[in-house]
Amino acid sequence: MPKLKIEDLARIREQARRATLLREGAGRVKITVHLGTCGIAAGGRNIMTAVLREIEERNLHDVLVTTSGCAGLCSREPMMTVEVLGQPPVKYVDLTEGKVKEIFAEHIVGGKIADRYALAVGSERVM
């Protein structure tokens, strides 16, 4: 390992930023991929892979991905919920890898909800 310069420190810090944010539970966008039995059967795993690949290719540092069980709408799986900080969550249904790409471009990066794939804006209240 060559000797570090001050710029190198900044670079290492920037590279590891994603991990740090994730561990602090902080992020601008939270994506929940529904991976109940139904979600997995409908191909949810591929959606997860597509989501993670998008994050990598676009070098996004502020997007957290979690999973959840069945959302109670098995016929519309695979599904994911996108939650931009300070905005109501949006549920996207009948997903394909291509649609995930578009949602990333329009909503997650672009900031505009991809209406045509969205089921609903907002979500049910829990308790």
**DSSP secondary-structure letter at 75?**
G
What is the token pair recorded at 44?
């949810």
- CA 122/CA 83 separation, integer angstroms: 9
How far is Cα 104 from Cα 2, in angstroms, rounded to an integer? 38
Q: Select 7 or 122, whichever has its Cβ closest to other proteins.
A: 7
Q: Which stretch binds other proteins (CB under 8 A): 53-61, 84-92, 96-104, 116-124?
A: 53-61
Q: Does 65 bind other proteins (CB under 8 A)?
A: yes
Give contact residues for other proteins (rule: CB under 8 A).
1-6, 9, 12-13, 15-20, 22-27, 30, 32, 35-36, 40, 48-49, 52-53, 55-56, 64-69
